[in-house]
Structures are given as structure tokens and as C-alpha cells.
């Protein structure tokens, strides 16, 4: 077992909904085993209000959540680096990502954008609940992996499989 936490970065273009959900869920689920971060290539500048409402309803501390650029996580600020990068939207998966410090393992965990949902307020809220449930299932599978220090190829395959949940 490793004696320092793994650093996980959830990426999405706007960093206002899916990646924020990932950051919050992992921070609560994994305790001190992980440092949970999120960012966007083109951050919206604010967290989507329905994402914050949902997290508050589920009793998450949302005080530290904010929409931010992936530029905040460059080599000079990350020390030992990032261990895992998960893209959670199709736009971010297609973008050329920066060279992250620490040579992290990455996987695409695409989830439909709840912020793009239309319809009644109930339908839009349901889109956020659906995104939350998908993200939570993937994070639960990720933190249940018994040994994150296994060989990189095997671990990369397992991370990709989680993205298909």
C-alpha cells in the first residue's frame, strides 16, 4: 500500500457539472486515500446551480467547489503530480490535453451533459441525478480496486472498463 494519497483529476470542458460531481463524490467516498480535483479546458466560471442543489440535498460540503481551468494544475503547482485523469465529457475526450505532471493514467468516463438537458425543471433535475448516479457507480468501482499499484497496462484496462459502466 502507498503511504501518500493518489491525486485524481476529473476533466470536462466547462467544469460546471459532471467533473464537479466527480470531484465531490470522490472526496467524500475515498476519505484520505485520494486527493480529488476537477478542472475544465474552457471553464464556465461557475458551478451549475442544479449540480450544487443536488450535492447539498445529498449533504455534501460544496463550499470549496468552483469552476476552474486545467491551467491551475501545471507542473509547478502539482508537486509529485497527478496519478489519474478521467475525462467525463465527449468534448474533453477529443481535446489535446496538457502533459500532466507525474505521467498519470487516464481514461474516458463519458457521461451525458446534464447541463444541456431541456424540459421541465423536474426533467432537468433528473438529468443531474442520472449523471450523479453514473459518476458514483464509476467512482465506487474505482475505489474498490484492490491494488492501484498493479502494472500500468492492467490498471489502464480496468479504468477503461469502469468507464463503460
> Is residue 89, in this structure, part of any structural domain at all?
yes
Higher pLDDT, 163 or 101: 163
> Is residue 165, in this structure, part of any structural domain at all?
no
**Residue 139 predicted with pLDDT over 90:** yes
The CATH number that applies at residue 76 is: 3.40.50.2300
| pTM for the model | 0.90
> Is residue 23, in this structure, part of any structural domain at all?
yes
Higher pLDDT, 165 or 26: 26
**Residue 93 predicted with pLDDT over 60:** no
Helices (H), the chain: 18-29, 49-57, 75-78, 90-94, 121-144, 152-162
Its domain, for residue 78, covers 6-158
Q: CB under 8 Å to 17, separation ≥6 — which residues?
A: 47, 48, 50, 51, 113, 114, 115, 128, 131
The structural domain count of the chain equals: 1
> Tens of pLDDT along 10-25?
999 899 999 999 999 9
> Is residue 164, in this structure, part of any structural domain at all?
no
> Is residue 21, in this structure, part of any structural domain at all?
yes
pLDDT band at residue 98 using 50, 70 and 90 as cut-offs: low
Tell me what pLDDT residue 97 has.
Answer: 63
Rounded to a whole number of angstroms, the CA Rg of the chain reads 15
Tell me what pLDDT residue 100 has.
Answer: 65
Provide, rounded to the nearest whole percent, the portion of the chain with pLDDT above 90. Answer: 62
Tell me what pLDDT residue 150 has.
Answer: 75
> Is residue 1, in this structure, part of any structural domain at all?
no
> Is residue 97, in this structure, part of any structural domain at all?
yes
Tell me what pLDDT residue 96 has.
Answer: 60
> Is residue 42, in this structure, part of any structural domain at all?
yes
Q: How many CA atoms lie within 13 A of 86 on its CB side?
A: 28
Amino acid at each position: 500500500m502507498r503511504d501518500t494519497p493518489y491525486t485524481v483529476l476529473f476533466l470536462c470542458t466547462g467544469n460546471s457539472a459532471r467533473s464537479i460531481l466527480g470531484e465531490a463524490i470522490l472526496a467524500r467516498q475515498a476519505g484520505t486515500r485520494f486527493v480529488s480535483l476537477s478542472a475544465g479546458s474552457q471553464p464556465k466560471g461557475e458551478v451549475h446551480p442544479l449540480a450544487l442543489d443536488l450535492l447539498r440535498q445529498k449533504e455534501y460540503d460544496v463550499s470549496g467547489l468552483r469552476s476552474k481551468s486545467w491551467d491551475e494544475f501545471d507542473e509547478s503547482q502539482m508537486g509529485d503530480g497527478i496519478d489519474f485523469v478521467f475525462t467525463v465529457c465527449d468534448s474533453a475526450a477529443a481535446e489535446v490535453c496538457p502533459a500532466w505532471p507525474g505521467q498519470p493514467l487516464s481514461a474516458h468516463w463519458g457521461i451525458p451533459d446534464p447541463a444541456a438537458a431541456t424540459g421541465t425543471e423536474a426533467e432537468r433535475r433528473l438529468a443531474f441525478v442520472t449523471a450523479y448516479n453514473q459518476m458514483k457507480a464509476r467512482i465506487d468501482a474505482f475505489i474498490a480496486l484492490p491494488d492501484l499499484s498493479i502494472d500500468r497496462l492492467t490498471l489502464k484496462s480496468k479504468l477503461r472498463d469502469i468507464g463503460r459502466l
